[in-house]
Amino acid sequence: MDFFEAQARAKKRTSRLVALFAVAVLGTVAAGYFGTIVGLRATDNYHPRRAGYRRYQVYDRESGPPPSLWQPGVLAVVTLGTLAIIGLASLYKWNELAGGGAAVAESVGGRRVDPHTTDLAERRLLNVVEEMAIASGVPVPAVYVLPDEPAINAFAAGLTTSDAVVAVTHGTMQKLTRDELQGVVGHEFSHILNGDMRLNMRLTAIVFGILVLGIAGRGVLWSLRGARFSSRGKNGGGAVAAIALAGIALLVIGYVGYFFGRLIQAAVSRQREFLADASSVQFTRNPAGLTGALKKIGGYALGSSLESTKSAALGHFFFAQGFTSMFGGAWATHPPLAERIRAIDPQFDGRMFDPPEMVDVTHESFVAAGLAPAQPKFHEPPRAATTSHIPPALHPIQAVASIGTLSAEQIANAQALLDSTPDGLRTAARTPVGAAVLLYGLLLDDTDPAVRAKQRALVASRAGGEALHLLDDLDPAFRALKPEHRLPLLQLALPALRTLQPSALSPFLDTLDELVHADDHVSTFEFALQKLLIRTLALGREPNAAVVQIYSFNAVTDEIAIVLSALAHASSNADMDAAAAFAAGAAQLKLVESRLAFLEPSACDLTALDAALDKLAVASGPIKQRTLVAAAHVVGADGQILVAEAELLRAVAAALDCPMPPLLAAA
């Protein structure tokens, strides 16, 4: 799966979604128009008398002909009114979802998993998510569990990889093995990497906008539940009847649109599930893990059915069908289980998982029946076979080609990196205070005692004595740390750092900046750490800031030259070698190759690089892709990967919102 191709497909699907949405809106407008015409004709057929109202009568010359079925003025009013209501409702829902993946997970009762949890099932889930994130190069998503859902299901939500969350039901943790859980999480990571999450969010807002007329009608009828219908008095039953008729009309009109909206939701969702299944198998190279999870859904009585009615609007987010469809397959957001299993295993004989006994879930829980332990007795299986063979480091060109993908080798490398990371540092990364101290420690100077003393004094004055004490406790672990662990540790720390309030975040970032500049020099690692951190936190807080504004290579030629020149100087100390590396990268950009000039170090320093990356961040996907391919050729021109250039290349990719896996293998 090509990351940039997947993003382009997501945009095409969005365009198709807009077209389908227009059809649904037209259906709603048509229903509203004809409902209004019927109402006008009925109203015109009533004529007042002293005693009240007459029933329908045949029109005569005095009363005139009935209102025409074609009334452009009425159509214009109905159209504008419908568009205004649907548009405002969709904007309201989109604004509600703008909080990112966490807002979605919490809206359906999700509870964030404590990074220090002692629950072994939750610990296993966190480990699987961390491995997938490190392997793919994305920031580690926040992990949520739906504690009141005993069925097997999961979802990923967010607007970007920086605000993504992975949520699973309690039943998923109880009933799946580690391989099966990894298959499910791999499926959700496919949605994270190929742009499905943002499409899902848009789809939710659109369907809500179409449904809002039906909700309004239902509200009107509910408000009249205690009203009496009477024909006596000025404000008698006539007014109540008119309001009731209006409510019924709104309900019918709204659900006409809702019907089409659900069809759109189902049609957009189903095909993506096959792609996500295939990607999960590609990621893990373990088809039995994913098919085992699907067979358990088919075998258990609860399957993947969700109990929360709040989750109905998010049916297209989930790993498997969460609700019984009122219109059979037409409204089903997921393909049938047997089709999904057979797409992975053509030899599937149709037999699902056979639970050890039947459970009446209305009277007895899985725990009470003994099908799931109250405190899981499993533990993380040893991974000696994985860590005994360390995959080789990725070549830069391979790393760029693998952006947005996962492989068994990458996952094995991530497991090896995590297993060889000092436990104290992994523990510190799981709390806001510990994560902040962890980053302080990564920036401490190891070569100049005077600079290190100055940095420690900065930590004490800006973060307090407690932070300095924790820093001293972690000092042995920092000294044992290898270069390849540094950026993965930042990835592990990001979920905790995202929880910092603005009042705490700003002083923390200021302290980091002072630590970086304590020696009046910014190294490539220091630049990479700050760029990765600030970009990820900014998108996590304002995911809608990820917009495309530049579509022409000519508009960013100077910025591309700065990026390639900076990487060329980082990859070599010899001017001739640097120029050759730059030329190797520029040759990948035939459209602008003649305009790309190799720059002196002073013209492409880290300050210039920072500004160039900020501009390239709003460029289109093809520009980012070709720029990264060129950058990879610069880094790989001499056939070796230096730590500095590997970290700088990952910083460039992260600044362009393109997740790149680690280039350095665990030692």
Q: Helix H segments across 474-523?
A: 475-479, 486-498, 502-516
Q: Tell me the range of 198-202, 437-441, 483-487, 656-660 where mean pLDDT is highest.
A: 437-441
Q: pLDDT tens digits, residue range 58-103?
A: 444 455 566 677 788 888 888 888 888 888 888 888 888 877 888 8
Q: In sequence order, what are the residues at sequence separation of 6 or more whose Cβ sits closer than 8 angstroms to the Cβ of residue 539?
A: 160, 162, 163, 545, 546, 657
Question: Residue 390: its pLDDT value, please?
Answer: 43
pLDDT for residue 197 is more than 60: yes
- Cβ atoms < 10 Å from Cβ of 301: 11
Spatial separation of the C-alpha atoms in residues 511 and 483, rounded to whole Å: 22
515 contacts 455 by C-beta, under 8 angstroms: yes
pLDDT for residue 119 is more than 60: yes
Torsions phi, psi for 48 (to 5 deg): -70, 145
Which of 131, 149, 180, 188 is labelled catalytic?
188
Spatial separation of the C-alpha atoms in residues 283 and 191, rounded to whole Å: 13
The two three-digit tokens of residue 286, written as one number: 């373990």
231 contacts 237 by C-beta, under 8 angstroms: yes
Q: Helix H segments across 3-100?
A: 3-44, 72-97
Question: Residue 308: its pLDDT value, please?
Answer: 74
Q: pLDDT tens digits, residue range 612-631?
A: 999 998 888 889 989 999 99
Confidence band of 45 (pLDDT split at 50, 70, 90): low
Mean pLDDT of 586-594: 91
229 contacts 237 by C-beta, under 8 angstroms: yes
Distances (CA, A) of 271 to 207, 340, 342, 529, 607: 19, 11, 15, 38, 45
Torsions phi, psi for 546 (to 5 deg): -80, 90
Question: Residue 5: its pLDDT value, please?
Answer: 62
Residue with tokens 């009114």: 81
Longest Cα–Cα distance in the chain: 105
Its pTM stands at: 0.74
Confidence band of 143 (pLDDT split at 50, 70, 90): very high
Spatial separation of the C-alpha atoms in residues 339 and 322, rounded to whole Å: 17
Q: pLDDT tens digits, residue range 375-391?
A: 444 445 444 444 334 44
Torsions phi, psi for 112 (to 5 deg): -70, 135
369 contacts 359 by C-beta, under 8 angstroms: yes
390 contacts 422 by C-beta, under 8 angstroms: no
The pLDDT mean for the chain works out to 79
Establish whether 188 is a catalytic residue: yes
